[in-house]
Amino acid sequence: MQILMAEYAGFCEGVERAYRIALEQVKQKKEIFMLGNLVHNTQVVRKFEELGARIVKTVSEIPEGTKGIIIISAHGVSPMVYDEINKKGLELVDTTCPWVKNAQKLSKNLAEKGIQVIVVGDKNHPEVKGIVAWSGGRALVVEEPEGLASIKLAGKIGVIAQTTQSIENFERVVKKLKERTDNLIIHKTICGATAKRQKAAIDIAKQVDLMLVIGDQKSANTNRLTELCKETGTKTHQIQTVSELNAKWLEGKDKVGITAGASTPDWVIDEVIKILE
């Protein structure tokens, strides 16, 4: 059986940066809090918990007077959260992905100019919630072109994307917007790593009998890789770890392709490859 690995897979630069910064912090002899999951990967989160970090959903969970470090995840947060952290007197370590920071800044700037902001993304994803918050809560979220039907467009429209959106979906939404208005400002804020991973996954999926996508079910970019691979017509399975690999999937397969989400660590990918070999 031949194993083909996607050219781009696993940690992207933004996740690698967040992971590296967080690792440096847990080495310090201070109490460490992580606001939400650093990245959407259970194995990575578990590792930091084992190293002593405490995961909190909100800043309010941290008792008043607590001294320590709070780490903001790669997905970013709202301006209000920064205010809460400042009031608590906690030491802030911000690992927000630079691509996400850029989307937040655009959301804020467009809204301040009175431009209606439309974010193409998953409305329940923390990154998208943060981008909306930076617009002062005025941005509207559209998950797919059909979602535009209920939105009244007036004046200038600024469209931005969740950084892990599929390029195809973003372009479909933009096409639909262009049919309704000429007053459109387009900011394609999909990160370069996402685009490379999606193309590489599709290229491999077209060459194999079975495609394995490694990554957490909570990872938006991993789920999109799975969707894109399935769209090629190749049998595709998404697994979080090697323990979910089913030997029956491999029966009669000559070529197996592998890709992994941007929040999937190398050690998880390597374990899968080792079993297949």
Q: Annotated catalytic, 168?
A: no
Residues of the chain with pLDDT under 70: none
pLDDT tens-digit series, residues 117-145: 999 999 999 999 999 999 999 999 999 99
Give 267's contacts (C-beta < 8 A, 6+ positions apart). 43
Total domains in the fold of the chain:
3
Looking at the fold, whether 272 and 209 belong to one and the same domain comes out as yes
CA 275, CA 277: separation in Å to the nearest integer?
A: 5
Looking at the fold, whether 244 and 267 belong to one and the same domain comes out as yes
pLDDT of residue 271: 96
Tokens at residue 44, please? 């990575």
Active-site residue among 127, 168, 227, 244? Answer: 127
Q: Which of 162, 186, 210 marks a domain boundary? A: 186
Looking at the fold, whether 173 and 231 belong to one and the same domain comes out as no
Q: Which of 164, 186, 208 marks a domain boundary? A: 186
- Phi, psi (rounded to 5 degrees) for 184: -125, 130
Q: Which residue has the tokens 């029966």?
A: 251
Looking at the fold, whether 177 and 232 belong to one and the same domain comes out as no
- CATH number, domain of 124, equals 3.40.1010.20
Give 270's contacts (C-beta < 8 A, 6+ positions apart). none
Looking at the fold, whether 111 and 86 belong to one and the same domain comes out as no
pLDDT tens-digit series, residues 220-230: 889 999 999 99
Looking at the fold, whether 196 and 180 belong to one and the same domain comes out as no
CA 71, CA 22: separation in Å to the nearest integer?
A: 7
CB contact at 8 A, 209 and 254 = yes
Binding-site residues for dimethylallyl diphosphate, please?
A: 40, 75, 125, 219, 221, 263
pLDDT of residue 166: 87
Q: Which of 186, 210, 232 marks a domain boundary? A: 186
Binding-site residues for [4Fe-4S] cluster, please?
A: 12, 97, 191
Looking at the fold, whether 179 and 208 belong to one and the same domain comes out as no
Q: Which domain holds residue 29?
A: 13-96
Looking at the fold, whether 125 and 168 belong to one and the same domain comes out as yes
Binding-site residues, please?
A: 12, 40, 75, 97, 125, 163, 191, 219, 221, 263
Helices (H) and strands (E) in the chain, counts: 9, 12
